[in-house]
Amino acid sequence: MARDRYTATAITLHWVIALGILVQLVLGLVMVHYPMSVGEQFKLYQLHKSIGITVLFAVFLRLFWRLTHRPPELPETMPVLERQAASATHVVLYLFMFALPLTGWAVVSASPFDIPTVLFGVIPWPDLPVLSTLANKHAAEAVLSYIHSRLAFVIIGLLALHILVLAALRHHFLLHDNILRRMLPRR
């Protein structure tokens, strides 16, 4: 029988990743642009790196789950173009959900300051090979940092698209079908 809801695991991972990315966006902007002491900035950078790597793991798990568990069908009433937009946005979102933490990790690896990453102050995390041994780390870090921050702005747009153009909310509130409820915990 076809499912009409995502599995509990898919729902949990979805909201953990969504929350993680939202926190990361705010944290990233604050730690880079908000004036603060070096000590506070250091702590926020470490937290940003820790949550970011956790999000990377969660995205890997989510993708694995997605590939091994069929998602619920979209309602037949949904126009083909909207279904295609929904699928395309999902694929692009996955790409960005990998690209963001990976480029962040690359920035840290190419940093000439060689500051160690210790996840949540407990787990030592390695730099990416190659990048950590580059001759011109300054230039590499600048390029990667630029890419990382631009990707962050693009994902803000994609998230808006995910919510609006996929019409999850519109379907829920205007057409009263099941789209949004499929990804909400059971009441």
Q: Which residues bind ligand HEM (CB under 6 A)?
A: 21, 24-25, 28-29, 32, 48-49, 52-53, 55, 100-101, 104-105, 107-108, 117, 145, 148-149, 152
Nearest distance in Å: CB 92, ligand HEM: 15
Nearest distance in Å: CB 8, ligand HEM: 23
Nearest distance in Å: CB 163, ligand HEM: 16
Q: Which is nearer to ligand HEM, 74 or 152 (CB)?
A: 152
20, 63, 27, 62: which is closest to 46 by C-alpha? 27
Q: What number of CA atoms fall less than 13 Å from residue 30's CA on the CB side?
A: 16
- Are 125 and 49 within 8 A, CB to CB? yes
Q: Which is nearer to ligand HEM, 48 or 62 (CB)?
A: 48
Q: Which is nearer to ligand HEM, 16 or 168 (CB)?
A: 16
Residue type, 118: V
119 φ, ψ to 5°?
A: -65, 125
Neighbours of 87 (CB within 10 A): 12
Nearest distance in Å: CB 105, ligand HEM: 4
Nearest distance in Å: CB 70, ligand HEM: 27
What is the separation, in whole angstroms, between the first and last Cα of the chain? 22
18 φ, ψ to 5°?
A: -60, -45
Q: Which is nearer to ligand HEM, 52 or 167 (CB)?
A: 52
Q: Which is nearer to ligand HEM, 10 or 51 (CB)?
A: 51
Q: Which is nearer to ligand HEM, 74 or 104 (CB)?
A: 104
Nearest distance in Å: CB 9, ligand HEM: 20
Which residues on adjacent β-strands are paired with residue 119? Answer: 123
Per the structure block, which two tokens stand in for 79? 């126009």
Neighbours of 5 (CB within 10 A): 15
171 DSSP 8-state letter: I
